[in-house]
């Protein structure tokens, strides 16, 4: 079971609600103002039946109507209705502000947490599920929270207000109402307990489906190339069926709340009508008072219908909020030490001392790895797939921390250095290119936003990207789609190379940096890299061994260990594993 699911399952409704209230507490002034407006709305709404009852009593019979009194009461009714409308409008504005500011705060906190989550979490969780939590689940939560503010406040006050007014008219009829009312609470709580579990399953399955859909859309070319459409559709249909099942169950349970509470409310209304008629016949109640009482009985039961609807929406909202808070409570990466130093004036001396690391505790990957690199040396790392080459890069960049041993730069343990300064002094070009949505200019200057036009163009020329950029519709101001989908893989890689060439970092990491570039352009870029690497400590991960002949040290890795070490000529003379690898590429 994944950590996110475990955390989500730990969250009960009370814990989630407590966290939501902590966010709302920040806007206590608006909450108080909303409560005051709710009181005004309820008071004016409940005062209207009193005026209506008085008007009925002024119209005793044909030819016996106090028109002047009715006119005065009519004007009062208009004023009360205006006050009700204005206060309700202002209350809704307050509730909207509270809801969407809370949602804004939650989304910002989730985004902040994503920036400090360890890569192992992001590597082990589908990106679509994370996106679903931040977007879809927060939207569902906002809808439920808004309904809660809009209807729960006024509903609760309406119930208390009508009881107060009814007690002022007749205690015994009010007692009938109070005795029947608990049935509504019992029905609502009984159903609510069952809907929460269904809404949890619904939101979890929706996240799973979003992740799968994103994966299929991003890789549709591969799906079609391998004729995987049928299998993909079958898997999507299976998720769709599960989502349909959970959604129908959640909707079924939640939809029974309203008719059940309406049944109880009708019992209340009938009880009031019968009891009130009995008192009216005996002269203890006027027709106007009975009219007002029936109106209050209707006002009293109406909030139960609304609150029952709100309860089911809140079940969905809390289930979605639990998924969001589970993400926010995920253990972040180990923070920088309080006394962590900034890496400055880098010489480029790198040492790995008896390093051990594994992604999964019971599966060893790197064991007792030792390496000493002098400033300005070019270190190439080669070996079969899965031997740990990219893992070494991840450890150097401190995307992951070592399990044992020490990695030091200029004699200082990288765990005693801030991550920002460490990564700021290492330029990195990966085999997997990444470009953000924006202009070519913005992508090249990502690492140096203050770079001049001349510096940017020089970097593009050095990476041989300038020629194809000029052919784009708007040159350097051409907008690139998400992940550069309107560029070829080679063009994307050239832009990534231009990005690092502009930064001119003191150390370099090149992980299959030219894997998607044609041979002719690759030769030119290798020359540019040779110039860029001069005087800089460089780590080169390569499968094409022809590109690393000039490396000062070649590390041959297998099963997480260095099995051979030397320069190109020395390793060929040894006629070992490197010799076999090299000759297999030119057989």
% the chain with pLDDT above 90: 3
DSSP-derived letter for residue 403 is S
pLDDT in tens, 318-365: 778 888 888 888 887 777 888 888 888 888 889 989 888 888 777 778
Q: How far apart are CA 543 and CA 554, in angstroms?
A: 12
* Every domain of the chain and the residues it spans: 3-328, 350-584
Of 131, 143, 147, 121, nearest to 206 (Cα)? Answer: 131
**Reported pTM:** 0.62
Q: Are the folds of 3-328 and 350-584 the same?
A: no
pLDDT in tens, 142-179: 877 777 766 777 777 777 777 777 777 777 777 777 77
pLDDT for position 86:
92
- From the DSSP assignment, how many helices (H) and strands (E) are in the chain? 23, 14
Q: Largest Cα–Cα distance of the chain, in whole Å?
A: 124
Q: Provide the mean pLDDT of the chain.
A: 79
Q: Is 286 left (phi over 0), alpha (psi -120 to 50) or beta?
A: beta
% the chain with pLDDT above 70: 85
Averaged over 219-237, what is the pLDDT?
76
Q: What is the CATH number of domain 350-584?
A: 3.40.50.300
Q: How far apart are CA 144 and CA 320, in angstroms?
A: 10
pLDDT in tens, 84-131: 899 989 988 888 888 888 888 888 888 888 888 877 777 777 777 788
The model's confidence at residue 382, banded by pLDDT at 50, 70 and 90, is confident
Pick the CATH number of 3-328 from 1.10.645.10, 3.30.1120.130, 3.20.20.390, 1.20.1560.10: 1.20.1560.10
Of 191, 155, 190, 160, nearest to 177 (Cα)? Answer: 160
């Amino acid at each position: 079971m994944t950590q996110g699911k475990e955390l989500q399952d730990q969250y009960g409704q009370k814990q989630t609600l407590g966290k939501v209230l902590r966010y709302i507490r920040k806007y206590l002034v608006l909450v108080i103002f909303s409560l005051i407006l709710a009181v005004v709305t309820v008071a004016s709404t409940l005062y209207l039946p009193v005026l209506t009852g008085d008007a009925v009593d002024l119209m005793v019979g044909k030819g016996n109507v106090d028109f002047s009194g009715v006119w005065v009461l009519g004007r009062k009714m208009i004023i009360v209705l205006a006050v009700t409308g204005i206060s309700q409008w202002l209350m809704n504005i307050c509730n909207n502000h509270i809801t969407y500011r809370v949602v804004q705060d939650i989304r910002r906190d989730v985004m902040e947490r994503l920036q400090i989550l360890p890569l192992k979490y992001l590597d082990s969780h589908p990106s679509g599920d994370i996106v679903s939590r931040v977007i879809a689940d927060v939207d569902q939560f906002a809808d439920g929270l808004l309904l809660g503010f809009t209807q729960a406040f006024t509903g609760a006050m309406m119930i208390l207000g009508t009881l107060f007014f009814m007690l002022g008219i007749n205690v015994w009829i009010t007692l009938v109402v109070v005795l029947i009312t608990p049935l509504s609470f019992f029905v609502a709580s009984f159903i609510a307990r069952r809907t929460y579990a269904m809404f949890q399953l619904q939101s979890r399955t929706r996240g799973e489906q979003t992740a799968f859909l994103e994966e299929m859309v991003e890789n549709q070319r591969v799906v079609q190339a391998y004729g995987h459409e049928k299998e993909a559709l079958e898997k999507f249909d299976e998720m769709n069926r599960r989502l349909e099942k959970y959604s129908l169950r959640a909707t079924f349970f939640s939809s029974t709340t309203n008719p059940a509470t309406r049944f109880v409310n009708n019992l209340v209304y009938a009880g009031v009508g019968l009891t009130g008629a009995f008192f009216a016949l005996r002269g203890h109640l006027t027709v106007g008072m009975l009219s007002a009482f029936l109106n209050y009985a209707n006002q009293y039961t109406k909030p139960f219908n609304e609150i029952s609807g709100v309860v089911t929406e809140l079940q969905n909202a809390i289930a979605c909020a639990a998924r969001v808070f589970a993400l926010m409570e995920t253990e972040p990466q180990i923070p920088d030490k309080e006394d962590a130093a900034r890496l400055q004036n880098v010489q480029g001396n790198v040492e790995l001392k008896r390093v051990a690391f594994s992604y999964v505790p019971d599966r060893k990957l790197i064991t007792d790895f030792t390496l000493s690199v002098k400033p300005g040396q070019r270190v190439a790392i080669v070996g079969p797939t899965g031997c740990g080459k990219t893992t070494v890069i991840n450890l150097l960049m401190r995307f992951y921390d070592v399990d044992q041993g020490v990695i030091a730069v200029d004699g200082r343990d990288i765990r005693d250095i801030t991550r920002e300064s460490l990564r700021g002094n290492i330029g990195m070009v990966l085999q997997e290119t990444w470009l953000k949505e924006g202009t070519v200019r913005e992508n090249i200057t990502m690492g140096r936003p203050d770079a001049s036009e001349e510096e940017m163009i020089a970097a593009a020329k050095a990476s041989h990207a300038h020629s194809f950029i000029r052919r784009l519709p708007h040159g350097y101001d051409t907008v690139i789609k998400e992940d550069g989908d309107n560029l070829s893989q080679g063009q994307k890689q050239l832009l990534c190379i231009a990005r690092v060439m502009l930064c001119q970092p003191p150390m370099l990491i090149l992980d299959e940096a030219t894997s998607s570039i044609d041979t002719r352009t690759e030769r030119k870029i290798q020359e540019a890299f040779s110039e860029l690497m001069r005087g800089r400590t460089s780590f080169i991960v390569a499968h094409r061994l022809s590109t690393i002949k000039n490396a000062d040290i070649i590390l041959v890795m297998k099963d997480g260990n260095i099995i051979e070490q030397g320069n190109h000529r020395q390793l060929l003379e040894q006629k070992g594993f490197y010799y076999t690898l090299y000759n297999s590429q030119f057989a």
